[in-house]
Structure 1
Amino acid sequence: MLRILEDRHRQFWLLHSLGWLGFALVAFLGSLFQEMRDAYLLVVALDAYAGWLLTIPLRYLYQRIRSFHPAALIGSVLLASLVTAACWSVIKNFNYWEIYRHGFRPKDWLQYLEQTPVSFYVMLSWSGLYFGVRYYQSLQQEKQKLLTASNKAHEAQLKMLRYQLNPHFLFNTLNAISTLVMLGEADTANKMLSRLSDFLRYSLYKDPIKKVPLQQELHAASLYLEIEKVRFSERLTIEYDIADNTEQALVPSLILQPLVENAIKYAVARQAAGGLVAIKARKFGHDLLIEVADNGPGMPIDAGLPKENSGLGLVNTRERLAALYDKNFSLVLTHNQPQGVKVNIRIPFEVEETDEEHSESHRR
C-alpha cells in the first residue's frame, strides 16, 4: 500500500478506479428510491465501466497539454470533456435501451446524445479532480525537493564549519598573524585578522538555502584563499577569470567553498613547490559554467568522480545541485592539462529580479 501511495502511476489507477466505483454506488443508491428492476444494476455497472475506459485517454491527453497557455489549456479541457461526454452519453443510452428497455430504438438518433449535458458535468468534474490531484502532487514534490535541498545545504555548511573550526586551520592562521605582529607588520596582521573574521561571519550567518550572486561567493572564496596564502606564501598562486556578465548570476551559497578547499588540500599542500588554484566563470546560452582547477598531482577519475573515496565532498555537492535543479545541471571532475584536476559545474543562468521587474512580472 505504501508503494502505491508513493508511486504517481499507481496513485492514478487507484483514485481513478475508486472514483468510478463511487459513481456506480451513487447511481445504485439513487435507484433504490425508484422502482427499478435488477437489470438496472447491470446498466449502472456498464455505464461506470464505460466511463472508466473513456477517461483513460484524457489522462494522456492532459499530460501533453498541461504546459499550454492557460486559455488554450482551458479550451482544450472543455472540448475534450465535451467529446468524451457525448461518447459516454451514446453508450449509456444504448445500454439502457438495449438492456432495460429490451431493445428500444429511438426514431431520432439525436436522442442518443440527450444526456450529454449531464455527462459533460461529470467529465468536467473528473478533469478538475485530475488537475487538482496533479497540482497537489507537484506541490508536495516541490516541498520534498526544497526539504532535500535544505538538508543537503545544511550538511554542506556543517562540513565546511567543521573544517573552518579545525584547530590546525585556526592555529596556522592565528600563528601567521602572530608572526606578522612580531615582525612589526601590524597592518598586514590586522588585514588578515579582518579577513578571517569576515570569512567566518559569512560562513556562520549566510543562509545556505538561498541563492546568492556569484560575486558574493567569489568574495568568500577570495577571503579563504588569502588566508591560506599567508600559510603557503609564494607557494600558492591564485587566478580569476570571471566574465563580467556572470557576477550577478545566482548560485547556491557556499557552493565554491568545498571545491576551493579540495584544491588547497589535495593539490597545493601536497607539492613542495605549491600550486595554482584557478576559478573561471562563463555564461553559455542559458547556462552558467563554473570551473575550479588546480595543477596538483591529480587522481584517478571514474564517471566524473574520484575512483577512490578521497573525502572530496563532491558527491554531496552533486546531490545538493540535484535537489536544487533536478536534472538541469552537471558536475564533472576531469583531468587538467598539463596536470591537475578540474571541476566543472553547469547550472541554469539566473539573476535576481529587480523590484521593477518583479512588479511587472506580478502584473502579467
Structure 2
Amino acid sequence: MKWRLLLEDRNKFFWILQTCGWFGYALVQYIGSLTQEMRDIYVVIILLGAYAGFLLTIPLRYLYRRIWDWSPWLLGTVVFFCSFMAAAIWAVIDNATQWEIYKFGYRPHNPLFYFNHSIAKFYIMLSWSGLYFVIKYYQMLQDEKQKALTAVSMAHQSQLKMLRYQLNPHFLFNTLNAISTLILVQENKAANKMMAKLSDFLRFSLDNEPIKRIPLSRELEVMMLYLDIEKVRFEERLQVTTSVSESASRGLVPSMLLQPIIENSIKYAIARLEEGGLIEIRAKVDGEDLLIEVADNGPVPFSEPKTTYNGRTGVGLSNTRQRLKALYGKRYSFNLSANQPNGCLVEIRIPWQVV
C-alpha cells in the first residue's frame, strides 16, 4: 500500500528515481575502476561526477515539463540541444575535479578537447532525457486508463441515479395521469403521442451506453422528449428556447448530460412560478472548447455561494460535475452563477470534439 501511494506521488517518485539512478551510475563507474589501478581518492571523483549529473538534470526536468505540449520536431530539437549543453557543462566540471583533486587530466584550455569529452556525457544525458519522457508518457497512459475506468464507473452511477429519477413514482404518476386525462377527454391522438414520447425517452435511457458520447444535436432531441413530457404537467407555464450553433450541434457530449440540469431548473424555477417560466439552452464553440449554457428565470435572485443556488446541491448537479471530472480531468468547467434579472445560469465548458 505504501509503495502504491508512493508511485501516485509523482514528485516523490521522481526524486527516488533520480537518486537511485545517479547512485547506480556512480556504482557502475566504481566497478569499472576496479579493473584498473586507481587511487582511493578516485572514489571522490566518481561521487562528484554523479552528483554533478544529478544537479544538472534537475533543470532539465522543469524545462521538459514546460515544453511537453510542443510539436514533436521542436520538442526533439530542444531536448537534443539541452542534453548536449548539459553534457558540455558536465564535461567541464568533470575535467576540473579530476585535475584539482586527482591531479589527472588536462587544464581547461582546448575547446576541441571539451567537445570530444562531451560526446560520452551527451549520450548519458540523452538517455536520461529519453527515460524521463518514456516514464512520463507511461504515467500519462496510466492516467488516461484510470480516467476511463473512473468515467465508466461514474457514468454507470449517473445512469442508475437518472433511472431512479425516471422511475420515480411521482414522475411516472404525473406522466401517466396526464395521458389518462387525455384519453378521458378523448384526445386519443395526443395521448398516443405522449405515450410514444415517454417510451422513446425511457428506451434511450435504457439502451444508450452511459460512457458513450453523442452529438449535442442528438442530446437536445432526447431532452426535448423529456421537456415535452414535463409540458403535459405545466402546459403553457413551461417555455423552452434553444440557440445552438451548427458547429456546436456536432460537438460530442456525454449522453444525458443536460437532464439533471434541466430537472433542477424545472424543480426550482418553473414549479415555483405561477405565471410560468423560461428555460434557455445555448451552445457555441469558443476557441477549442464547447460552451453549453442552461439558464432559467427562477423566482429568487442568485445570492448563494458559487456552489449552490437556492439549495441546488442535489445528487444531479453533484453527479454531473463528478462525471465531467472523470471524463475530462482538468479540461472542463462546471459553474453556477446568477442569471439576469433572476434565476440561475449553469455553464459547462468541455473540449470541442466531433466524430
Alignment TM-score, normalising by the size of structure 2: 0.88
Check if 1:335 corresponds to 2:329. Answer: no
- Are the structure 2 counterparts of residues 79 and 294 from structure 1 closer, same or farther at C-alpha, using a change threshold of 3 Å? closer
Does residue 1:15 correspond to 2:17, yes or no? yes
Question: 1:107 and 1:44 mapped to 2: Cα distance?
Answer: 19
1:157-196 aligned within 5 A: 157-196=159-198
Distance 2:106 2:298 in 1: 88
Deviation at 1:120, TM superposition (A): 1.7
User: Structure 1: which 5+ residue stretches go unaligned?
Assistant: 353-364
| Residues 198 and 252 of structure 1, relative CA distance in 2, 3 Å threshold | same
From the superposition, tell whether residues 65 and 233 of structure 1 become closer, same or farther in structure 2 (CA, over 3 Å).
Answer: closer
Aligned-partner Cα distance in 2 for 1:170–1:107? 87
Find 1:302's aligned residue among 305, 325, 328.
Answer: 305
**Structure 1 residue 52 corresponds to structure 2 residue 33:** no
In the other structure, the counterpart of 1:358 is none
Quick one: structure 1 residues 163 and 99, their matched pair in 2 at CA, closer, same or farther if it must change by over 3 Å?
same
SS of the residue corresponding to residue 272 of structure 2 reads: coil
Q: 1:170 & 1:249 partners in 2: Cα distance?
A: 32
Judging changes above 3 Å, is the alpha-carbon distance between structure 1 residues 215 and 37 closer, same or farther for their aligned structure 2 residues? Answer: same
**3-state DSSP class of the match of 1:269?**
helix
Q: Find the counterpart in structure 1 of residue 264 from structure 2.
A: 262
Call closer, same or farther: CA 1:37–1:253 in 2, change over 3 Å.
same
**Paired position in structure 2 for 1:322:** 325
- Residues 149-198 of structure 1, C-alpha deviations (whole Å, 9 max, x = no match): 33332222221111001122112222222332333222222211111111
Name the counterpart of 1:33: 35
* Match for residue 75 of structure 2 among 73, 78, 90: 73
Instruction: Give unmatched runs, 5+ long, in structure 2.
Output: none
Indicate the SS of the match to 2:269: helix
CA apart distance, 1:48: 0.9
Read off the aligned partner of 1:226 and give its amino acid letter: D
- What displacement does 1:38 show? 1.7
Identity of aligned residues (%): 55
Correspondence for 1:222: 224
Asked whether the equivalents of residues 305 and 332 of structure 1 are also in contact (C-alpha less than 8 Å), the reply is no
Cα-to-partner distance string for 1:301-349 (whole Å, 9 max, x where unaligned): 2125326465263233223223333444333323334433332323333
1:251 aligns with 2:279: no
User: Cα distance, 1:104 vs. partner?
Assistant: 5.5
Residues 296/106 of structure 1: CA separation in 2 closer, same or farther (3 Å cut): closer
Aligned to 1:361: none
Once the two structures are superposed, residues 28-67 of structure 1 have per-residue CA deviations (whole angstroms, 9 ceiling, x without a partner) of: 1222333333222122111111111222222223223333
Residue 258 of structure 1 and its aligned partner are, at CA, apart by 0.5
Q: Residues 242 and 95 of structure 1: is their aligned pair in 2 closer, same or farther, counting only changes over 3 Å? A: closer
Number of residue equivalences: 351
User: What CA distance in whole angstroms lies between the structure 2 residues aligned with 1:15 and 1:211?
Assistant: 39
Pairing 1:84-163 to 2, within 5 Å after superposition: 84-100=86-102, 102=103, 105=106, 109=110, 110-163=112-165
Output the CA distance in 1 between the equivalents of 2:133 and 2:36.
Answer: 35
Aligned to 1:357: none
- Larger mean CA deviation between 204-213 and 40-49 belongs to 204-213
Task: Give deviations 1:199-254, integer Å, cap 9, x for gaps.
Answer: 01111122222321111111111111111122233333333333344321222221
Label 1:338 to 1:61 Cα distance change in 2 as closer, same or farther (>3 A): closer
Q: Check the 8 A contact 1:300/1:308 in 2, yes or no.
A: no
- 1:276 paired to 2:274: no
Counterpart secondary structure, 2:38: coil
TM-score by length of 1: 0.86
